[in-house]
Structure 1
């Protein structure tokens, strides 16, 4: 799973990841205005529910991350939404841990935010199917980057766990496909009913 338990990471990895996660959270909260709070809270709830449902897959388990979709809809504010979800999961269910909260936040939020920023200028331009495909690609890649970050952090902290990283990466391939489909369909829907929610103009996005 993308949640890293307490006690797994070395102190240097924990410190760097926590500082980076806190920086992303600071940027997100700084951009959070009164009008953004309802949408951010709604997506925090969606993330909390979706990532609380783990599905067994071989020797591990996976859950939806929705990082690409949240990055597309919230930008840096996705850090705030994901932080709330992770904090509640740690306190209520013991997922991950409090000492690794910043690292988990970084792993789940940063890939989606950066990849969404890369594709957002093209969302709503041209045929809607192209926008949906780009959004889905960003979502799929964000899952794979998250898995890579988790694997790298664990391998650096405890080299003995390195052989298991490949198994974890393979387990996330089906998840990346699922997230791509979910994000693509949501993007198509929002382009029709509320394109501004994903940074597209209401006047574009329907041309052939």
Structure 2
């Protein structure tokens, strides 16, 4: 298999050579298994070991790189996609970052108030090069959060794209993809910062709020 150029390299955000990233990737894969099996195992590890928390978006390189998410134990769609890409590269699996703008119908009242929109710009996922093809994986929402919101968690088999379901368990609209922003070898942090500054000027006001508590309170109604 010809490996695409650049997609195994360490970068400022995808710091796959960091000792903690390598240890985590090794701990969540089994020696001797196939590349697809390793990719699947890494996907589920990142999806469920790290709580989704969009209140604590930090667009500094020091806080969004893979090793930082690993140390914090939580992340949001972009930082979790970065971590999954780093873990893949640490196991010699080519990976890149993909982004799109989506309309998300399942969020908290506080998040909608802070964002002033239901459009999530630069929603992030991970592309893995497996068995000669690029396969999408979206590790953003952990299992516990999916259960609270009542929508099916995204599964991943390493051969089919894993992207958000359009509807929840009750048939309500969940996620709509609006615009594809492309694929990247490293995190396009400057472009993301520019878009967030334009659309989410108040987002940092919620950084001390408890996302899990808000979800629990709203889903209990």
TM bin, normalised by shorter chain, reads 0.3 to 0.5
Give the number of the structure whose residues are more often strand, by fraction.
2
* TM superposition score normalised by structure 1: 0.33
TM-score by length of 2: 0.31
Question: Which has a greater percent of helix?
Answer: 1
